[in-house]
């Protein structure tokens, strides 16, 4: 009897994506809280301090909170999801199927991203209204926004299956979020930060995500967008490469 060949990658992805998209049944409440309420509250709080500093500082408040929701909440959801699958034995089930690890992680990432889109619109529109900023949304946002959501997705999945308990994985994820948000010009303009923090910020994907989002959502576009997009794409490739090399889901 011939061994059954694995499905083409696009069919593997589509089947896994439909499975992962069903997460809306349990994830939507957390997405509303952490993806909408907390960023809007952060905009209200930080905006009250930054209003006297002008529109540039307010733009960092808006985009910084958007990065926090888009990049780090996405990573946090991946950590929680894969830690739960490890504990519940779901990873063992997926490991018996003729599918690639990268396809499972990509499917989960895009499913969470799609579920987050309504929150993204609310935070962007509501934050601009609260801070009285004029939006100038460029069509390139259709490319840049997904690029800003995926750089840490693979790392989140790897962390979820590496640590012994979901609580440990979530704690390390929160620590990583705090470090990347405070290092570099993400929430705070670079002229308000020490030089060493600005330079360290170039090591964080959050810095490039914030820069890219400011350009495509508030304007103007500059050649810096090419660098930001290239770095974010490289982070995505590195993240998925790390997962493919390090994540052994049959023993995770």
pLDDT at 135 over 80: yes
**Sign of the CA dihedral running 2, 7, 12, 18:** negative
Give one DSSP letter per residue of 102-123, joined into a string.
Answer: HHHHHHHHHHHHHHHHHHHHHH
Pick from 127-131, 143-147, 184-188, 245-249: least confident: 245-249
Pick from 107-121, 128-142, 170-184, 197-211: least confident: 170-184
**Which is nearest to 60 in space by CA: 186, 207, 148, 182?**
186
- The residue-averaged pLDDT of 58-66 equals 91
**CB-based contacts of 141, cutoff 8 Å, min separation 6:** 216, 217
Buried b / exposed e along 17-37 (16+ C-beta atoms within 10 A): beebbebeeebeeebeebbbe
**Entry pTM:** 0.86
How far, CA to CA in Å, does 219 sit from each of 25, 124, 131, 193, 206? 36, 14, 16, 22, 18
Please provide the distance, in angstroms rounded to a whole number, between the alpha carbons at the two ends of the chain.
31
Top pLDDT among 175 and 138 is at 138
* Domains of the chain, residue spans: 25-246
**Sign of the CA dihedral running 143, 149, 151, 155:** negative
Q: Verify cis geometry, omega within 30 degrees of 0, for the bond prior to 220.
A: yes
Angle at 134 between CA 133 and CA 137, to 5 degrees: 125
């Amino acid at each position: 009897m011939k061994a059954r060949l694995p499905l083409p990658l696009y069919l593997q992805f589509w089947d896994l994506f439909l499975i992962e998209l069903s997460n809306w049944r349990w994830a939507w409440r957390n997405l509303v809280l952490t993806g909408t309420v907390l960023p809007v509250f952060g905009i209200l709080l930080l905006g009250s301090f930054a209003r006297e500093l002008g529109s540039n500082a307010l733009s960092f408040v808006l985009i910084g909170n958007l990065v926090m929701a888009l990049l780090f909440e996405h990573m946090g959801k991946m950590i929680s999801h894969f830690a739960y699958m490890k504990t519940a034995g779901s990873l063992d089930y997926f490991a018996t199927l003729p599918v690639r690890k990268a396809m499972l992680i990509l499917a989960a990432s895009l499913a969470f991203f799609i579920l987050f889109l309504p929150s993204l619109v609310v935070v962007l529109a509501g934050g601009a209204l609260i801070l009285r900023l004029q939006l100038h949304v460029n069509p390139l946002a259709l490319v840049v926004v997904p690029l800003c959501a995926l750089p840490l997705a693979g790392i989140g999945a790897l962390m979820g299956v590496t640590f012994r308990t979901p609580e440990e994985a979530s704690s390390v994820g929160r620590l990583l979020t705090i470090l990347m948000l405070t290092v570099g010009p993400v929430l705070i303009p670079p002229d308000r930060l020490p030089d060493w923090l600005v330079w360290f910020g170039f090591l964080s994907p959050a810095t490039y995500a914030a820069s890219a989002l400011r350009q495509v959502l508030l304007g103007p576009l500059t050649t810096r967008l090419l660098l930001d997009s290239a770095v974010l794409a490289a982070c995505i490739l590195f993240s998925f490469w790390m997962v493919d090399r390090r994540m052994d889901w049959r023993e995770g």
